[in-house]
């Protein structure tokens, strides 16, 4: 028998019940075991007592069952603080002393994390998290999927000495959260590394988990439309100014073939002799980019027909720090350089998720 549970959004629920009820009579020495889809022990009751040492660490202190389970036939399992990682198929099996299977039931749990999508040029994003949990004398932590500390509050005050360096001076939480219960995190000056799943956890003074909530941040490719014959178009890309210190910026035309380097910036200056000769008078970047972090590229006289694809990478000491793809469709209403507010107002976003590109060259990536 299989049962399905779907949490459409991980909204910080305290627990979820994995149901398993039966009218089959059990001997007092029966074994009750819950396992996940990989055969790991989630919960085990054997020889009339629980066996927490047999659980894998992931489920320690997070699962409970009714005390009189064998008498009532209610073998349901309560799983505390479910997150996306708990999406799985769980099996409840009851064995006799001779390991004969008396009951076997399955429960499929699906936890879908709330998603936030951001557009290219967005300087900050809000990761939502609200709670009714009493926050006095508690600790609130935001962490990324690599368990790096993004932001921490203790008794209503920021505690950031252990914050990971990549998030320094880039995060903010509501100072009035003790009254409002709004634990949302504002993340500023986005780079490609911010496409991730973030977890907000509330701990009591004693270290117990009171609530857990996850938010998935997705940064998408930028898509622009330009009319055939347009004089110019702005390919948008904005990063943290700190990212550009001693860094190299390269823009490439990816499609149509052949692949060409269309602009290069390094050591505070454009490098026209490193770009394709065809584009030496066709591209321009903001002169104030080291202060603003705006490395958008003005492209003069884009191609007259078909779609075009452009990529930009930011490098330091051979390591890729940030990148974006801009997909340009040559049709529709013209978007000229003298109307930058309209260009930036379009639906643009940056896809900077593939962390594997940190270890490869940009020429390999394209």
189: part of which helix (H) or strand (E)?
A: none
Whether 2-111 and 114-219 share one fold: the answer is yes
Checking if the pLDDT of 25 tops 70, the result is yes
Checking DSSP bridges between strand 269-270 and strand 260-266, what pairing results, if any? antiparallel
Checking if the pLDDT of 355 tops 50, the result is no
Checking if the pLDDT of 272 tops 80, the result is yes
| In this structure, CATH architecture of domain 114-219 | Sandwich (2.60)
pLDDT average, residue stretch 88-113: 91
Report which of 137, 142, 143 is spatially closest to residue 157, judged by C-alpha positions.
137
pLDDT average, residue stretch 238-262: 90
pLDDT average, residue stretch 177-182: 82
Lowest mean pLDDT across 103-107, 138-142, 354-358? 354-358
Distance CA 324, CA 314 (A): 9
The CATH topology of domain 222-365 is Immunoglobulin-like (2.60.40)
Lowest mean pLDDT across 91-100, 235-244, 357-366? 357-366
Q: What are phi and psi of 359, to 5 degrees?
A: -105, 5
User: Sign (positive/negative) of CA torsion 26, 29, 30, 34?
Assistant: positive
What is the reported pLDDT for 240? 79
CB atoms within 10 A of CB 278: 10
What is the reported pLDDT for 238? 83
What is the reported pLDDT for 231? 86
| In this structure, CATH architecture of domain 2-111 | Sandwich (2.60)
What is the reported pLDDT for 336? 39
- Tell me the per-residue pLDDT of 113-129, one tens digit each, with 9 for 90 and over: 889 988 655 668 999 98
Number of H helices, E strands in the chain: 5, 27
Q: Where are the domains of the chain?
A: 2-111, 114-219, 222-365
Distance CA 208, CA 100 (A): 38
């Amino acid at each position: 028998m299989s049962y399905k549970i779907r949490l459409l959004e991980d909204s910080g629920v305290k627990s979820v019940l994995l149901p398993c009820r039966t009218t089959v009579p059990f001997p007092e020495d029966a074994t009750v075991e819950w396992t996940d889809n990989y055969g790991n022990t989630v919960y085990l009751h054997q020889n009339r007592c629980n066996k927490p040492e047999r659980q894998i660490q992931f489920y320690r202190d997070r699962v409970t069952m009714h005390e009189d389970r064998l008498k009532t036939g209610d073998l349901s399992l309560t799983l505390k603080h479910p997150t996306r990682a708990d999406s799985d198929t769980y099996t409840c099996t009851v064995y006799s002393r001779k390991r004969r299977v008396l009951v076997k039931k399955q429960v499929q749990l699906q936890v879908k994390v709330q998603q936030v999508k951001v557009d290219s040029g967005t300087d900050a994003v809000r990761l939502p998290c609200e709670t009714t949990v009493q926050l006095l004398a508690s600790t609130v932590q935001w962490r990324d999927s690599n368990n790096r500390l993004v932001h921490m509050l203790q008794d209503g005050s920021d505690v950031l000495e252990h914050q990971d360096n990549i998030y320094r001076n880039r995060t903010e939480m509501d100072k009035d959260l003790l009254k409002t219960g709004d634990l949302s995190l504002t993340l500023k000056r986005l780079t490609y590394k911010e496409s991730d799943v973030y977890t907000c956890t509330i701990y009591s003074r004693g270290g117990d988990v009171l609530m857990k909530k996850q938010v998935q941040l997705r940064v998408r490719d930028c898509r622009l439309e330009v009319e055939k014959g347009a004089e110019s178009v702005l390919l948008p890309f904005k990063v943290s100014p700190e990212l550009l210190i001693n860094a190299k910026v390269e823009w490439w035309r990816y499609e149509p073939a052949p692949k060409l380097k269309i602009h290069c910036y390094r050591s505070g200056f454009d490098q026209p002799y490193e770009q394709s000769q065809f584009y030496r008078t066709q591209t321009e970047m903001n002169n104030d980019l080291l202060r603003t972090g705006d490395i958008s590229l003005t492209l003069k006289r884009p191609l007259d027909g078909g779609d075009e694809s452009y990529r930009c990478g930011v490098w330091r000491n051979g390591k890729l720090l940030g990148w974006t793809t801009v997909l340009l469709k040559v049709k529709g209403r013209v978007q000229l350089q003298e109307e930058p507010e309209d260009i930036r107002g379009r639906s643009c976003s940056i896809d900077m998720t593939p962390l594997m590109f940190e270890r490869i060259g940009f020429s390999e990536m394209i």
